[in-house]
Chains A and B, each alone.
Chain A
Amino acid sequence: MDTGVDGQVQFDVHRSSLAPAVPAGVVLRALGDLDMAGAPRLRSAVVTEVAAGARLLVLDLTGVDHLDSAGLGVVIGALRRLRAHDGDLRLVCPESRLRRVFEACDLDRILELHADVDAAVAEATVR
């Protein structure tokens, strides 16, 4: 990981496809600090995936060390973008300290937080 200074941002996004099980399904795994420094990278990845045809997007926050309102803004924007294309957003967020951030904004009322990618996908494919 980078040091966090000298223009380096401690954040990365890894992409994997859920095809063929879920043809338009994509997992974006966020790693590092999802703050004002890291959020633009994730937003850009979400925009790219939706433009490329992703309709089930799983955001895996398991590897996120810090989440704040900048990161929550990306999640809200991702939900809006997916819904605009009749798609769906699923969140993987097993850590209670990150869940607390969602709860403090009442976002847990509109977004279910799953323990792992399998659980998130399982619920999605049942719909």
Chain B
Amino acid sequence: MTRRRGRTTSGIELAIPPRPEYLQLVRAVVGAAAGTGPTGRTPPDPGRVADLRLVVSEAVTNAMEAQAAVGAPERILVRCRPEEGRIVVEIVDRGPGFDPDAVPDLPPVTDHERLDHESGLGLSLMDRLADGAVVETGPDGTLVRLTVDHS
């Protein structure tokens, strides 16, 4: 990734080992960063910060699983930047990529077979709780860009 010229540099960037015990750290840092900005800026609602922490946790979990699947030891990048009225977080992994259209739908929650699926809720949570979720994926990795509005 190259830094685009002319854009004001703000926000933070984390590079974390692809191990589950770092999830808590990511949530803490992203949650704190979400409320950090120029003096006088209206901070996001606490409920939206909770949503942000959750969707980022889901995306980083997916990134860790993707890298574990191919034994990729690289650190996962988490970039968090405040924008006017919203927070944007990008999660970049070096996993094998995936076909978003090939992700199977879960059975309806009231179906008996629904209980056979313990995983797969992460993407639903991101769709439901983020205001924007963009996935760019290829054989060299995946970038997920999550946007959460302040209110």
Contacts and interface: CB of A to CB of B under 8 A. Distances in A.
Interface stretch (A17-25, A31-39, A53-61, A117-125): A31-39
B43 to A, nearest CB: 17
Contacts of A97: 47, 50
Interface residues of A, number: 32
Given A35-B24, A36-B64, A105 B116 contact: no
A68 B117 contact: no
| B contact face: mostly helix, strand, loop, or mixed | helix
Interface in A21-51: 33, 35-37
A14 interface: no
* Chain B: number of interface residues, binned into ranges: 20 to 34
Interface in B19-40: 20-25, 27-28
Contacts, number: 86
A68 B61 contact: yes
B21 A101 contact: no
19 contacts: A4-B22, A35-B23, A35-B61, A36-B23, A37-B20, A66-B24, A66-B54, A68-B57, A68-B58, A69-B58, A69-B120, A70-B61, A73-B119, A74-B118, A76-B115, A100-B50, A104-B128, A110-B110, A110-B114
Given A4-B28, A107-B109, 13 more contacts: A8-B21, A35-B23, A36-B64, A69-B58, A70-B61, A72-B121, A76-B114, A76-B115, A76-B118, A77-B118, A80-B115, A104-B125, A104-B129
